[in-house]
Amino acid sequence: MGRVSRRAFAVAAWATLAGLPAAGDAGAVPRARDTAGPGAEARAACEMRGMWLATVANRDWPSRAGLTAAEQRAELLTHLDTAASRRLNAVILQVRPTADALWPSTYEPWSQYLTGVQGRDPGWDPLGTAVAEAHARGLELHAWFNPYRIANHTDPSRLVASHPARLHPDWVVPYGGRLHYNPGLPEVRAFVQDAMLDAVRRYPVDAVHWDDYFYPYPVAGQVFDDDAAYAAHGAGFPDRAAWRRHNIDLLVRETAAGIRRARPGTRFGISPFAVWRNAATDPLGSDTRAGVQTYDDLYADTRGWVRRRWIDYICPQVYWNIGFAAADYAKLVPWWAEVVKGSGVRLYVGEALYKAGDPAQPAAWQDPAELSRHLAFAAGLPQVRGHVFFSAKEVAVDRIGAMARVVADHYGRPAEPPG
């Protein structure tokens, strides 16, 4: 069975199990995309509909550390079933949350989020199972890695004795209550690439995915201590900021080339914090007033990676409502559409499903229709090729029905991912 026919068959089957109308059903709910203008229907038939499945701190899965292998597997399959029943077509699974692994890595220890003990074999292969079971349901599986985060604490002695961060303490920088690998060291850059590409060589993942963690988010009153690395490797750069951006640029460019060598056809996507630079900082920037700018604070030239075509897709985390003063969804998404125009890089929009119905969020997020309005707005921009929802727990629980509204309004039929 070919990829397209397999996808249509699998999604129709899971939609039937979930009680949703399958493609062509007379009762299919009309979608906002149906009236979104020329070409919208074709885009809807081939668009990203993804969800993040986070493992760090057991956010989404496993529900807690220490479950049996059978329990872990059952929970994973339930998440995949839920994605298929919502007519999603991709799951972005976090497989290297804290310099560890959800597969039998030759470079790093088994993740503590599986067994509760870092380095302990869980008795099964989560990533291998996820790839096979996702594909059986017509879902893509994107392997999500965090390049530099070692631990959500600052005590190296809590890491397993064989951990590379303990074997190479000179690679490690404590900052902001966490341990980080130092991006300024060439040996670190080579190691983290090897650790990530190990999974790409072993498994037919559809994409390698990074989120928004490069240099760590700034913490007031703290300094990321890379003085020695800068002294050793920073010659020729106008300042430390330019050198740091160069370090991240190298990681992106080299990883892209490594993926092509390891498994041709596997894509490379990045999901950054959505503000590259504010227009007040740079006339090329967005009409925003964000307190964080990836170019200046995380040393991540997200716009540059698109314009240089180093990545296959970008999925900015546009985690604000339409009309939010400091970072308006209706201003940021068109800005990103202009960035990708003519580049060949696909644009997906990261959506803050986790905010829907959260009483701590602004009034807009108490409206179940807010996310549906996001998709209707984006449908008018031909560069937007889909959306990804954070995250799996909220896709399943759907606190106020915001995800159900998205499905009813926009996902009336199955769709192939853009590929």
Domain layout of the chain by residue ranges: 3-410
Question: pLDDT band for position 34 (50/70/90)?
Answer: very low
Beta bridge partners of 267: 207
pLDDT at residue 43, rounded to an integer = 64
Average pLDDT value for residue range 112-130: 98
Residues 6 or more apart whose Cβ sits within 8 Å of residue 38? none
Average pLDDT over residues 230-253: 98
Predicted pLDDT of residue 42: 61
- Predicted local confidence at residue 27, as pLDDT: 28
Backbone dihedral region of 220: left (phi > 0), alpha (psi from -120 to 50 degrees) or beta?
beta
Q: Is the pLDDT of residue 28 over 90?
A: no
Beta bridge partners of 70: none
CA atoms within 13 A on the CB side of 147: 29
Q: Which residue type sits at 29?
A: V
Domain 3-410 superfamily per CATH: Glycosidases (3.20.20.80)
Q: Is the pLDDT of residue 130 over 80?
A: yes
- Residue 62 in contact with residue 70, Cβ under 8 Å? no
Query: pLDDT tens, 397-415?
Result: 999 999 999 999 999 999 9
Q: How many CA atoms lie within 13 A of 68 on its CB side?
A: 3
CA distance 365 to 355: 6
Quick one: pLDDT band at residue 30, thresholds 50, 70, 90? Answer: very low
Average pLDDT for residues 152-172, to the nearest whole number? 98
Residue 221's identity, in one-letter code, is: G
Instruction: Name the pTM for this structure.
Output: 0.91
Average pLDDT value for residue range 309-338: 98
Mean pLDDT value across residues 380-386:
98
Per-residue pLDDT, 19: 34
Q: Reply yes or no on whether the pLDDT at 18 is more than 50.
A: no
- pLDDT digit string (tens) for 35-87? 344 455 666 689 999 999 999 999 999 999 999 999 999 999 999 999 999 99
Can you give the pLDDT at residue 23?
A: 29
Residue 7's pLDDT is what? 46
pLDDT class of 11 with cuts at 50, 70, 90: very low
Q: What percentage of the chain carries pLDDT values higher than 90?
A: 89
The vertex-81 CA angle with 80 and 83, nearest 5°, equals 65
Provide the pLDDT for residue 45. 84
pLDDT tens-place string over residues 251-290: 999 999 999 999 999 999 999 999 999 999 999 999 999 9
Tokens at residue 54, please? 């986070």
How would residue 419 be classed by pLDDT, with cut points 50, 70 and 90?
confident
Tokens of 80: 């995949």
Mean pLDDT across the chain: 92
Task: Tell me the pairing of strands 384-389 and 207-210.
Answer: unpaired
Q: Are 348 and 50 in contact (CB under 8 A)?
A: yes
Using pLDDT thresholds of 50, 70 and 90, give the confidence band for residue 335.
Answer: very high
Least confident of 3-12, 65-74, 163-172, 364-373: 3-12
Q: Residue 300's pLDDT is what?
A: 98
CB 122 within 8 A of CB 62: no
